[in-house]
Amino acid sequence: MVRALSSRFGSGRLRPEKGQQAVVEEVTVGAVRVALAVPTTYMNDSGAGVRPLMRRFGIEAPDHVVVVHDELDLPPGRIRVKLGGGIAGHKGLESVRAHLHSPDFVRVRVGIGKPPGRQPGANFVLRRPSRADREQLDVAVEQAVDAVEAILTQGVEAAMNRWNGA
């Protein structure tokens, strides 16, 4: 999804940057300067790169950080926008919350559905999606890009009203 944002608003090439634990590109969305980043850490430690990125780009408030993540509690392909709240056992979100010392960051939740039977969630998220799920996820990526654009240009509340009503 971040790469799709990069392609839409920038060069489409995120690059390593000294002192960062992410590949990064700075773009402008509307009138907003945005640092796009994909962590180069393991997902469970993805928050480790957030503080250095915030310092590098002069971001002071956690609610100016937008995290896009997979969500077991949503059907495949559905997206929702959320400000703050719980982490529902998501290790990547737990890491971000711990490194920010706050749960008050913006989330774009991309549904991947629940694992079948008693399959552990960790195993489910690491498997390749089915062809049908992949098609829904491809659409969801574009919708998530639209949601991030709405967050940046119209505000979180407007994005929540648009994306959480469907």
Q: Are 48 and 41 in contact (CB under 8 A)?
A: yes
Helices (H), the chain: 2-9, 50-57, 91-100, 121-126, 131-154, 156-163
CATH of the domain at 28: 3.40.50.1470
Tokens 């980043």 sit at which residue?
Answer: 37
pLDDT of the residue at 88 = 82
Distance CA 31, CA 116 (A): 44
| Predicted confidence pLDDT, tens digits, the chain (166 residues) | 999 999 999 999 999 999 899 999 999 999 999 999 999 998 889 999 998 999 999 999 999 999 999 988 899 889 999 999 998 888 999 999 999 999 999 999 999 888 877 877 777 877 888 888 889 999 999 999 999 999 999 999 999 999 997 5
What is the tally of structural domains in the chain? 1
**Domain limits at 157?**
2-163
The string of DSSP letters for 67-106 reads: EEEEETTS-TT-EEEEES---TT-HHHHHHHHHHT-S--E
Maximum C-alpha span of the chain: 47
Burial group, residue 18, by CB count within 10 angstroms (0-12, 13-18, 19+):
exposed
Decide: 46 and 95 in contact? Cβ < 8 Å.
yes
pTM: 0.91
